[in-house]
Structure 1
Amino acid sequence: MEHKVRDPALAPRGKQQIYWAERNMPVLMRIRARLEREKPLAGLTVAASLHVTKETAVLVKTLAAGGAQVILIPSNPLSTQDDVAAALAEEGIGVYAWRGMNEREYYNAIGFAISHNPDLTMDDGADLTVSLHKLAHGIADKTLDYVTEVAKGVDFVKVASKIRGGTEETTTGVIRLRALHKEGKLLYPIIAVNESYTKHLFDNRYGTGQSTWDGIMRAANALIAGKVVVVAGYGWVGKGIAARARGLGARRVIVTEVNPIRALEAVFDGFEVMPMSQAAEIGDVFITATGDIRVIDLDDILRMKDGAILANAGHFNVEIDVEGLERIAKSKRTIRPYLDEYELPGGKRVYLIGEGRLVNLVAAEGHPSEVMDMSFANQALAAEYLAKNKLGIGVYKLPDELDAEVARLKLEAMGIKIDELTEEQRKYISSWELGT
């Protein structure tokens, strides 16, 4: 397959990384063995816009084992592991990815994926899906010029009409695609993989909870014990980050929220809750996890104490007002890899990790393989489901029985057994007649 990676010579190291991930992803490996026998994806092209990591490589190789031709592009300019990209290219995957892409290169990659006329799309953040829909609907966007530089002469309406369906991995992406459907512009069915319990209950909470702190500690080498940590957003990602902050010995963990139910939940979980304007004055480490824009704005940054550390765990680099920070900073310098120091008017300094992009993938390796095992098992099963079933246009949840199958396989791989309902118990909980 045609490919474009940073350095093909990195392939041997990438293969070792993929091997390690495969050792720790038993659910997906079980699914791979079945797909390899049955070939449900034979003859189909899958265009996947995902973080190009060793875990993603296990998913991609599983899709290929099921008979698919796979095109892999990144879903973030800074998250690609170049050795993994090289290893996949050597194994015949159409990879167009390298770490540190600029905006033009990132959207060129989307053009590369679209130009292969896919049957299925697989997304993390919805940039691939949304770009194709904008082009098909004739919606102007500067980034689309970069897409069409590579996808020259492509009939985007025809490409979209051929697609059987797509999948979406993230909360942010699902929000975008539901909005697209609400406006009547969605052109093919989407399975919201993020809504599977074995995805968001584990990946978002335990995976991001751990890997976010991994990225912060690698970048800043900061001691978390004794610090005041501020977590913006108390969805599943925020819950995981706050819980891990407490476990690392943070002196205070403060949550900021706009949703009263989530704010109340944070209070009942034992965390302080207050507005960001108040938290900004007392926090040592700030982490955004909301999916919204300028959650930490310039006024908040100017209130922060000298030495405050800022990190983002949301999908896009819009949650921290990086543009405003760049505009007012007296100076900027890189102190450590992925750690930039900004001197503010008045002499205070704040430290931004990874340009405000996904801290766990920019400054670390992303989620542990064990948790991505379930997330990507859902992706593989969603691709198979779309290949076998014709869905109407809409945004769907993966069937509950497939979600439960992922959990069953994970427990089996961990050597854990659970009880089963007796016939009497099944009858009791399914009947309206039986009671006290």
Structure 2
Amino acid sequence: MSETSYPPVSQHLSDVETAREEGRRKMDWALQHMPILNALREEFADEQPLAGETIAMAMHVEAKTANLVELLAEGGAEVAITGCNPLSTHDDVSAALDTHESITSYAVRGVDDEEYYDAMHACIAHEPTITVDDGMDMVKLVHEEYPDLIDSIVGGAEETTTGVDRLRAMDADGELHYPVFAVNDTPMKQLFDNVHGTGESSLATIAMTTNLSWAGKNVVVGGYGQCGKGVAKKASGQNANVIVCEVDPRKALEAHMEGYEVLPMREAAKKGDVFITTTGNRDVITREHFAEMQDGVLLANAGHFDVEVNLDDLDDLAVDRYEVRDGVEGYEMKDGRVLNVIAEGRLVNLAAPIALGHPVEVMDQSFGVQAVVVRELAANGEEYEAGVHDVPDELDREVADIKLAAEGVEYDDLSDEQREYMDSWEHGT
């Protein structure tokens, strides 16, 4: 591996050995509940499908992610990883990863913007042949500052809604110069990770951070995509009154027909007790909305970047700011109202002090897709043109089959006659 000026995580910690032991303990617990990664780990170790590959990763470095990283290393890859959010790294897990002979982890919790990108530069200095992203910062940096590496990169994978949206915009502008799989958009991610993962982990993190109940509260969900649907569904299931804000008429209609109240944010701002943004876009909640909010509201973001709740606007309006509780900052208005921001407006289910991210079983599925996509790039990357690609359906189904087998669940097959009927246009009434 290449030498870099930015040191790995072990040089940032005062008690490295203790951190490594605790990180390994977290990883081992998670792996017990990850049957997909366990099955793939055995296959990858035997077949070495990633031999000769160097993988640069920018992800949320915690126990579940770490098991994906080790799987890729056990499959023959050299891996360099850093965080994709300054507050989502678990330093102990990062330190445990860094003990593997084929892994270098630069991820450190609480870094500033300069250090965040220094660590990403350090990963790219390993001269990757494959990139794996949460949020697309790695791909962007490669294209902007390391264009000489592009010809040697066979492809990448992107796991988030925000990252895929950015990649599609980049592709539309003709600026994406290697193939990237949109892992976020495949059924095994959309149906489970975005709905159950985001919904459960966001609500659980907010509840544990605040020690408050959902029952009877007016919960405003900004955005009714897959993540917003999950948040709305889980909040309703805990007896909250859900209000949905949308910009797409079809999604607004869908939310309405699911029984939720649908309002513009300017009206929802007057009624909400808790606000959770899930759009991937900026300025979902701004100055005009803060002016209408009740004293004591909670503001949380479940989108990838900290741009959905406009904290610059909130700071301008505030006469004072102070920590009201670990992970909660109160912004006091001139009229005495206090608006409470959780986890600095960052991805709440990973950035709050007690946050653990999505449930283990959910991430096992998403990371299983990541693993088989990386395997596909190593084997057949030259067959894909530059641009954003859907995950091949057979790979998505492979991950589902592994999960069902692990759960002891059987399902039906089509008969030859049924298959022929479905594949033919000649059968009529």
Question: Shorter-chain TM-score: what band?
Answer: over 0.9
1:10-409 mapped onto 2 (5 Å cutoff) = 10-92=19-101, 93-135=103-145, 156-250=146-240, 252-363=241-352, 364-389=355-380, 390=382, 391-409=384-402
Distance 1:435 1:20 in 2: 55
Secondary structure of the corresponding residue to residue 71 of structure 1: strand
**Which deviates more, 98-107 or 306-315?**
98-107
Counterpart pick for 2:426 among 401, 421, 433: 433
**Which deviates more, 407-416 or 289-298?**
407-416
The residue type paired with residue 419 of structure 1 is: D
Distance 1:413 1:206 in 2: 20
Residue pair 2:365, 2:399 contacting (<8 A) in 1 also: yes
How high is the TM-score relative to the length of structure 1? 0.93
- 5+ residue gaps, structure 1: 136-155
Distance 1:337 1:347 in 2: 21
Residue pair 1:256, 1:263 contacting (<8 A) in 2 also: yes
Residue pair 1:280, 1:303 contacting (<8 A) in 2 also: yes
**Which deviates more, 160-169 or 308-317?**
160-169
Indicate the residue corresponding to 1:142 in structure 2: none
Secondary structure of the corresponding residue to residue 90 of structure 1: coil
Distance 2:425 2:156 in 1: 39
Shift of 1:433: 2.4
Asked if residue 4 in structure 1 is aligned to residue 9 in structure 2, the reply is yes
| Residue-by-residue CA offset, 1:198-222 (whole Å, 9 max, x unaligned) | 0121101100000001111122111
The residue type paired with residue 43 of structure 1 is: G
Distance 2:333 2:143 in 1: 41
Indicate the residue corresponding to 1:152 in structure 2: none
Shift of 1:297: 0.5
Supply the RMSD in Å over aligned alpha carbons. 1.1
Secondary structure of the corresponding residue to residue 271 of structure 2: coil
Residue pair 2:89, 2:107 contacting (<8 A) in 1 also: yes
Indicate the residue corresponding to 2:4 in structure 1: none
Residue pair 1:309, 1:351 contacting (<8 A) in 2 also: yes
Distance 2:270 2:421 in 1: 56
Number of residues of Structure 1 aligned to a counterpart in Structure 2: 415
Shift of 1:3: 2.1
Runs of 4+ residues deviating >4 angstroms: none
| Residue-by-residue CA offset, 1:86-145 (whole Å, 9 max, x unaligned) | 11112232000111111111011111011111110000000111122122xxxxxxxxxx
Asked if residue 414 in structure 1 is aligned to residue 407 in structure 2, the reply is yes
Secondary structure of the corresponding residue to residue 404 of structure 1: helix
Secondary structure of the corresponding residue to residue 341 of structure 1: strand
How high is the TM-score relative to the length of structure 2? 0.95
Shift of 1:324: 1.2
Distance 1:4 1:255 in 2: 41
Residue pair 1:78, 1:362 contacting (<8 A) in 2 also: yes
The residue type paired with residue 399 of structure 1 is: P
Distance 2:52 2:426 in 1: 51
Distance 1:416 1:211 in 2: 26
Secondary structure of the corresponding residue to residue 55 of structure 2: strand
Secondary structure of the corresponding residue to residue 226 of structure 1: coil
Shift of 1:323: 1.0
Distance 1:34 1:308 in 2: 49
Residue pair 1:215, 1:362 contacting (<8 A) in 2 also: no
The residue type paired with residue 412 of structure 1 is: A
Secondary structure of the corresponding residue to residue 216 of structure 2: coil
Q: Identity across aligned pairs (percent)?
A: 48
- 5+ residue gaps, structure 2: 2-6
| Residue-by-residue CA offset, 1:242-292 (whole Å, 9 max, x unaligned) | 001011111x21000000010011011110101000000010000000011
| Residue-by-residue CA offset, 1:162-202 (whole Å, 9 max, x unaligned) | 11111101111011111111111112111111111101211
